[in-house]
């Protein structure tokens, strides 16, 4: 049976799925709990599945509910981005937003676009590992400089540059001051990152091989990660530009001689038809190619 899914009901569903509590979800949505319950029941009837198992003490997602939770967030983001693109197309290009990761300098490209379009309001948006692609998928940015690897679904990518990755450690670390290190030097170190972000370390790490790895302390920003590094809780592997951007006296960095470089690309939404995006991508590619030749 065909079901036309109401995006408002999906937003209601995601709130309940996040809190697993109808009362708290209703408070977040600023609606009455009975109204929320009716909307969720209506969604279940439209889809022909049960999304939650409820009793007097708890609320849990069913298998269908867990799948809908995974699929709903990108659907709502794309709907929001669609609305932004349609509104922008109707009004004409008045602004342009560029997302960038820490350590990447976008001044030359922004100045070139501003010179070509002095009437255009150009803004920059700092991103992180968690939202570097989300900002273009949900329409907050027209283009975004991303550090690979990323989930490429819904994105167009233009490769721009490669840069070395370095070991970042406390200033009093045993390897501090070395001109370069090998990945094998790090086998017994504690990495303050997802091991999959540094597969070269993951494949030789003693703590993974012996099952002694402890969870890395929470760090949503580079600044937080460097605080943990400075206090000796572990090491990090970062692109060179990020490490030099956050220079501080209690943290040192050294090149890693036998590790793949970090690749940087420009990303934009496949659905975008903005000629300004194509113009910006061409400018960025031209400027980076000129810099590399220089």
Among the residues of 106-262, which ranges form H helices?
107-116, 134-137, 199-202, 206-209, 222-230, 240-245
Kindly state the tokens that stand for 214: 């402890």
Question: At residue 293, does pLDDT exceed 60?
Answer: no
Stretch 255-282: mean pLDDT: 94
pLDDT, tens only, 61-108? 999 999 999 888 777 777 776 776 666 565 555 789 999 998 999 999
Whole-Å CA distances, 151 to 8, 26, 130, 250: 26, 32, 11, 34
Mean pLDDT of all residues belonging to the chain: 90
Q: What is the CATH number of domain 165-255?
A: 3.40.190.10
Stretch 157-167: mean pLDDT: 95
pLDDT at 181: 97
The residue ranking higher by pLDDT, 267 or 1, is 267
Stretch 169-198: mean pLDDT: 96
pLDDT at 3: 57
- The pTM score is 0.67
Question: At residue 294, does pLDDT exceed 90?
Answer: no
Strands (DSSP E) contained in 88-206 are 95-100, 121-126, 143-147, 155-163, 165-170
pLDDT at 1: 42
Q: Among positive and negative, which fits the CA dihedral 235, 236, 239, 242?
A: negative
Question: At residue 268, does pLDDT exceed 80?
Answer: yes
Of the chain, the percentage scoring pLDDT greater than 70 comes to 93
93-159+262-293 folds as D-Maltodextrin-Binding Protein; domain 2 (3.40.190)
Question: At residue 230, does pLDDT exceed 60?
Answer: yes
* 93-159+262-293 and 165-255, same CATH topology: yes
Q: Are 98 and 123 a contacting pair, CB within 8 Å?
A: yes
pLDDT at 190: 96
Enumerate the domain spans of the chain.
7-74, 93-159+262-293, 165-255
Rounded to whole angstroms, the Cα distance separating 96 from 100 reads: 13
Question: At residue 194, does pLDDT exceed 70?
Answer: yes
7-74 folds as Arc Repressor Mutant, subunit A (1.10.10)
Question: At residue 254, does pLDDT exceed 90?
Answer: yes
pLDDT at 93: 56
| Residue 52: band (very low, low, confident or very high) from pLDDT cuts 50, 70, 90 | very high
Rounded to whole angstroms, the Cα distance separating 87 from 93 reads: 10
pLDDT, tens only, 212-225? 998 888 887 899 99
């Amino acid at each position: 049976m065909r079901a036309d899914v109401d995006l408002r009901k999906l937003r209601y569903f995601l709130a309940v799925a996040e809190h697993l509590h109808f009362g708290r979800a209703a408070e977040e949505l600023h609606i009455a709990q009975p109204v929320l319950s009716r909307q969720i029941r209506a969604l279940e009837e439209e889809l022909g599945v049960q999304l939650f198992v409820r009793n007097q003490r708890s609320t849990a997602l069913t298998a269908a509910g867990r799948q809908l939770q995974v699929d709903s967030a990108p659907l709502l983001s794309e709907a929001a981005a669609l609305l932004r693109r349609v509104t922008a197309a109707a009004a004409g290009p008045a602004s342009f937003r560029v997302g960038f990761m820490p350590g990447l300098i976008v001044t030359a490209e922004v100045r070139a676009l501003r010179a070509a379009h002095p009437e255009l309001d150009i803004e920059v948006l700092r991103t992180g590992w968690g939202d570097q692609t989300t900002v273009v998928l949900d329409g907050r940015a027209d283009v975004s400089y991303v550090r690979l690897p990323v989930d490429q679904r819904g994105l167009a990518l233009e490769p721009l540059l490669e840069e070395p990755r370095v070991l970042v450690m406390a200033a009093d670390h045993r390897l501090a001051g070395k001109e370069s290190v090998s990945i094998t030097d790090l086998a017994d170190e504690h990495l303050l990152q997802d091991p999959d972000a540094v597969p070269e370390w993951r494949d030789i790490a003693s703590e993974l091989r012996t099952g002694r790895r402890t969870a890395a302390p929470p760090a949503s920003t580079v600044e937080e990660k460097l605080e943990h590094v400075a206090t000796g809780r572990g090491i990090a592997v970062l692109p060179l530009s990020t490490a030099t951007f956050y220079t501080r006296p209690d943290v040192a960095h050294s090149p890693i001689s036998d590790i793949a470089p970090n690749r940087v690309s420009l990303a934009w939404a496949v659905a975008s038809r903005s000629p300004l995006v194509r113009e910006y991508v061409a400018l960025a590619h031209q400027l980076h190619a000129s810099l590399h030749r220089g």
